[in-house]
């Protein structure tokens, strides 16, 4: 662990605050979330908004160790960005540990959206093995804001490791029922043992489908709430696309998993089933053969679905077209070997683990982006079977069972009305104020296109952000 040398003034502040923190931690048996109300006067420009603090097992330098790791939002405060001095500490069992803090997107502000004022950060505290016993709560000290907060330590909810966990970035204003059905069913057939969905806003039909899958144990739903705000400050107006970088990194900490991936609902990782079997079998073999492999990258190809012939026979899945089209990669990782990720690659792997790119003859990413998935003609395309005959038979049965159970009666088609509106209202986000905020830019155009369920309607405290 890096040793931080503190100035006398910092030591004095820490002494006072940590003494108070220990008293708070001792006297309070239940967790206090400062943001159970989404509106609070304690929010300031230099606040750090933390979602959770996870106890994580990691593989560093060929041995296992533990860290406390969390992700949150803050502005580009130079004190948070100063790597020479720690400003976040945890206190527990008469122990105070300094934390490492860094932005997930690299530079602050994030180069992709430099005008977004609130950026995604990771905080991490190295632990000794003796420290993890009965570690249920800590006090988080923030010397920038001179505050302390009691934070629960979140541990993975599953005892048995997932074989392959799929993390889905926050769904927002999402109503494509058929696309979601295909996404879940196809990932299950490829060996996914659990899919984690974060959601901000979805249609009632989509929510019914998600809840069906959750009740049968296929997926886990995480309501992704709005950030706390007050009359003077609203971070939600300056976070890029609901802060998806935070959601996907938080997801990777939630469950024990041998392998994991982060994909959108229009993406599949494809391998030759005849030659290699399921995706899970193929990737397991790769990681077994290369013991220092930490991340496996899949190069991008465009997928066009035969939507004109889409019906409940699901035979249209055997007439899809794949075209070479440049685009960002996707990955499968061993989560214990990765510190943090972005949407398309791992930002940091622990030593000695490496990242490898999969050859195009073995497999690739299939991306059915709405701008090309359902229309247009491509030259130099090749046909691809997205599902075997046996899988298609199973899909027919599943669709009938599920739609009957949840009483879904809409036509069998890919719903693109909201997607098309988004293409219009978001196309000028860069030339506008330079921060892609769908709620602010698009709500008035899409609010009446469907019946919506919002994460903020759910009054739970376990997934609210804590103001520190």
| CATH number of 106's domain | 2.60.40
Same domain (yes/no): 144, 196: no
Q: Are residues 175 and 150 in the same domain?
A: no
Look at residue 340 and tell me if it is in a domain: yes
Cis peptide before 442 (omega within 30 of 0): no
* Residue carrying the six token digits 């690299």: 106
CA distances from 244 to 32, 80, 194, 355, 465 (A): 25, 21, 19, 22, 14
Cα separation, 355 vs 293, in Å, equals 6
Residue 125 is assigned to a structural domain of this protein: yes
Q: Give mean pLDDT, residues 441-461.
A: 92
Summarised one tens digit per residue, pLDDT across range 243-278 is: 999 999 999 999 999 999 999 999 999 998 778 889
| DSSP code of residue 289 | H
Q: Residue 35's pLDDT is what?
A: 39
Considering the domain boundaries, does residue 457 fall inside one? no
**Count of domains forming the chain:** 2
pTM of the model: 0.91
Q: Quick one: 44 and 167 in the same domain? A: no
Asked whether the predicted pLDDT for residue 1 surpasses 90, the reply is no
Structural domain includes residue 9: no
Q: What is the pLDDT of residues 185-204, one digit of tens each?
A: 999 999 999 999 999 999 99
Q: Are residues 339 and 311 in the same domain?
A: yes
What is the helix (H) or strand (E) element at residue 22, kind and residue range?
A: helix 8-27
Mean predicted confidence (pLDDT) in 378-397: 88
Residue showing tokens 């003034």: 9
Domain with 401, as residue range(s), is: 162-406
Q: pLDDT of 142-162, one tens digit each?
A: 999 999 999 999 998 887 899
Q: Same domain, yes or no, for 186 and 319?
A: yes
Q: Which H helix or E strand runs over 245?
A: helix 244-254
Residues 118 and 133 in one domain: yes
Judgement on whether residues 85 and 130 belong to the same structural domain of the protein: yes
Residue 330: both structure tokens together = 């996707």
Torsion from C-alpha of 437, 441, 447, 452, nearest 10 degrees: 0
């Amino acid at each position: 662990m890096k040793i931080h040398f503190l100035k006398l003034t910092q030591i004095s502040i820490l002494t006072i605050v940590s003494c108070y923190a220990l008293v708070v931690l001792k006297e309070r048996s239940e967790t206090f979330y400062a943001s159970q109300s989404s509106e609070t006067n304690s929010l300031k420009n230099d606040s750090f908004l933390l979602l959770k603090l996870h106890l994580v097992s990691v593989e560093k330098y060929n041995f296992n160790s533990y860290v406390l790791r969390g992700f949150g939002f803050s502005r580009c405060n130079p004190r948070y960005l100063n790597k020479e001095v720690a400003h976040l500490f945890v206190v527990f069992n008469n122990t105070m540990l300094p934390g490492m803090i860094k932005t997930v997107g690299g530079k602050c502000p994030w180069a992709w959206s430099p005008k977004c004022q609130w950026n995604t950060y990771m905080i991490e505290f190295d632990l000794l093995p003796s420290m993890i016993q009965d570690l249920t709560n800590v006090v988080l000290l923030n010397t920038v804001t001179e505050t302390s907060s009691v934070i629960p330590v979140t541990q993975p909810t599953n005892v048995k490791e997932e074989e392959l966990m799929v993390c889905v970035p926050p769904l927002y204003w999402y109503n494509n029922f058929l696309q979601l059905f295909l996404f879940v069913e196809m990932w299950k057939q490829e060996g996914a043992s659990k899919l984690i969905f974060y959601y901000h806003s979805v249609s009632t039909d989509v929510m019914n489908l998600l809840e069906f899958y959750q009740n049968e144990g296929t997926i886990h739903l995480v309501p992704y709430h709005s950030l706390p705000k007050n009359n003077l400050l609203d971070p939600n107006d300056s976070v890029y696309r609901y802060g998806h970088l935070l959601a996907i990194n938080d997801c990777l900490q939630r469950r024990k998993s041998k392998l994991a991936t982060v994909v959108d609902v229009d993406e599949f990782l494809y391998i030759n089933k005849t030659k290699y079997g399921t995706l899970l079998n193929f990737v397991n073999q790769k990681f077994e053969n290369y013991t220092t492999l930490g991340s496996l990258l899949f190069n991008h190809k465009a997928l066009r679905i035969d939507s004109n012939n889409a019906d409940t026979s699901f035979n249209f899945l055997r007439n899809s077209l794949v075209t070479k089209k440049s685009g960002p990669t996707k990955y499968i990782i061993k989560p214990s070997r990765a510190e943090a990720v972005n949407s398309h690659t791992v930002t940091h792997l622990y030593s000695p683990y490496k990242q490898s790119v999969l050859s195009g003859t073995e497999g690739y990413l299939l991306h059915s982006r709405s701008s090309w998935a359902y229309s247009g003609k491509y030259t130099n395309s090749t046909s691809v079977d997205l599902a075997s005959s046996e899988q298609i038979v199973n899909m027919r049965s599943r669709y009938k069972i599920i739609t009957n159970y949840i009483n879904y009666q809409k036509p069998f088609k890919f719903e693109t009305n909201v997607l098309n509106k988004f293409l219009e209202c978001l196309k000028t986000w860069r030339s506008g104020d330079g921060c892609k905020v769908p709620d602010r830019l698009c709500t008035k155009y899409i609010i009446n296109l469907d019946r919506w369920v919002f994460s903020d309607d759910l009054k739970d405290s376990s997934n609210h952000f804590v103001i520190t």
